[in-house]
Amino acid sequence: MSGDIAVLGAGMHPWGKWGRSFVEYGTIAARAALTDAGLDWKQVQSVVGADTVRGGYPGHVAGATFAKALGWQGARVTSVYAACASGAQAIGAARAQILAGLADVVLVVGADAAPKGFFAPAGGERPDDPDWLRFRVLGATNPAYFGLYARRRMALHGDTVDDFAQVKVKNAAAGTLNPNARYRRTVSAEEVAASAVVADPLRLLDICATSDGAAALVLTSMDFARRHGTTDPVRIRAVSTVTPTFPRSVLDLPDIATDSAASVEPAPHSFRASIARAAYEEAGIGPEDVSLAEVYDLSTALELEWYEDLGLCGAGEGAKLLRDGTTALGGRIPVNPSGGLASFGEAVPAQAIAQVCELTWQLRGAAGDRQVSGARAGITANQGLFGHGSSVVAVR
């Protein structure tokens, strides 16, 4: 398809709490991606960096920061900030440059050195910042609204705390097979149940950690890939970065109001479902064509929601899909074969890029013991605060 671009290289810095600069993590991931692509840094014509509040300003703007760390060589730079969707927007910006003929080789990098504990909004009085408002007005930390989502699923669909725990069990098992994961041990449902309550009904092991880490991709035009000798690369076929539509009948914090009008009918699909639908439509495929998915499991309950939003099952059927083993390694449609955030934790600007790294390795057949058999197409999904969609479709 004319909209395809090639993934020539994928690289990561392992997730953890390393106590070093995000610049170091991103530079290591970038060099790993360049090595994987078989390209020299001087061949990169553009760098797109994914920012965070912590690694965005003052003094650091990711695109230029990584270009400088790798050694100034004249490449154009772009920096993007879209909260958890920053990595997908970075990929989208790179793809646009390639398809527009502005660059043949683009390096995309995201890295973070995260604080301990849950993420808090930027400091100061910020009444125009919905993230600041939900802390100030509602006292709602991220785990608080993860818990609200979980309670909603329990009320609407009959999900149980054991269903949520089994998501952690599944993802922890996959994470043991991933050398880049922070947590690499199996976890039992009993251990999840015995961990501290954070935001009822969610326990500590139901909620992802905050982590240091980095991921990078080398993206090129299809013509460049062929000239480079790569005749059948993994290809990015769609990037969805859509926003919500009003009115919204179910609010996603940090939003605590909606601009709905009485004369406007609610959209037929939720915001998260619209993210995936846009990706499928652009890629010309449907859920039935997908071999695997990488989704943003901020909490165990949220992963079940993504099953439904991606169209892998009907509304309320996510827990059944999990119980049947459909989404586990060896199942019909493995979800988070990387181990997901349950095994990695959040390194905000890196995670959407890391998801595409996993698709790349899976579609190449290079994922080792966690390999999804016969993988031909994969989709990612996450959601950034402030209405940022994030979904990427990759095919082989």
Top-level class of domain 5-116+213-235: alpha beta
Geometric angle at alpha carbon 114, from 113 and 118, rounded to 5°: 180
Average pLDDT of the chain is 93
Mean pLDDT of 195-221: 97
In the predicted model, is pLDDT for residue 34 greater than 70? yes
Residue 263 is encoded by which pair of tokens? Answer: 């004369």
d(CA 87, CA 353) in angstroms, rounded, equals 5
CA–CA distances in Å: residue 212 to residues 188, 286, 297: 25, 34, 17
The pLDDT assigned to 1 comes to 45
Does 130-208+236-395 match 5-116+213-235 at the fold level?
Answer: yes
The band of 261, judged by pLDDT with boundaries at 50, 70 and 90, is low
In the predicted model, is pLDDT for residue 260 greater than 70? no
The pLDDT assigned to 331 comes to 97
Mean pLDDT of 308-320: 97
The band of 58, judged by pLDDT with boundaries at 50, 70 and 90, is low
d(CA 337, CA 359) in angstroms, rounded, equals 9
Residue 198 is encoded by which pair of tokens? Answer: 């954070």
Cis peptide before 143 (omega within 30 of 0): no
Q: Where are the domains of the chain?
A: 5-116+213-235, 130-208+236-395
pLDDT tens-digit map of 283-300: 999 999 999 999 999 999
Mean pLDDT of 179-192: 98
Backbone φ and ψ of 198, nearest 5°: -105, -55
Whether the full predicted model's pTM is greater than 0.85, yes or no, is: yes
pLDDT tens-digit map of 103-156: 999 999 999 999 888 888 777 888 888 888 888 888 888 999 899 999 999 999
DSSP 48-96: EEE--STTTSSS--HHHHHHHHH-----EEEEE-BTBTHHHHHHHHHHH
- The CATH superfamily assigned to 130-208+236-395 is Thiolase/Chalcone synthase (3.40.47.10)
The pLDDT assigned to 70 comes to 97
Helix (H, G, I), strand (E, B) or coil at 285: coil
377 and 395 Cβ atoms separated by less than 8 Å: yes
Mean pLDDT of 330-336: 97
Q: Which amino acid is at 212?
A: D
Of 49-53, 100-104, 170-174, 194-198, where does mean pLDDT reach its minimum? 49-53
Residue 45 is encoded by which pair of tokens? Answer: 């014509």
Going by C-alpha positions, the residue among 392, 375, 227 that lies closest to residue 295 is 392
Going by C-alpha positions, the residue among 329, 349, 350 that lies closest to residue 338 is 329
In the predicted model, is pLDDT for residue 270 greater than 90? no
The pLDDT assigned to 137 comes to 85
Half-sphere exposure in the Cβ direction for 92 (13 Å, CA): 21
The pLDDT assigned to 259 comes to 64
The pLDDT assigned to 255 comes to 75
The band of 370, judged by pLDDT with boundaries at 50, 70 and 90, is very high
76 and 103 Cβ atoms separated by less than 8 Å: yes
The band of 159, judged by pLDDT with boundaries at 50, 70 and 90, is very high
The pLDDT assigned to 153 comes to 96
CA–CA distances in Å: residue 14 to residues 72, 214, 307, 386: 25, 7, 27, 28
pLDDT tens-digit map of 75-110: 999 999 998 999 999 999 999 999 999 999 999 999
The band of 217, judged by pLDDT with boundaries at 50, 70 and 90, is very high
In the predicted model, is pLDDT for residue 241 greater than 50? yes
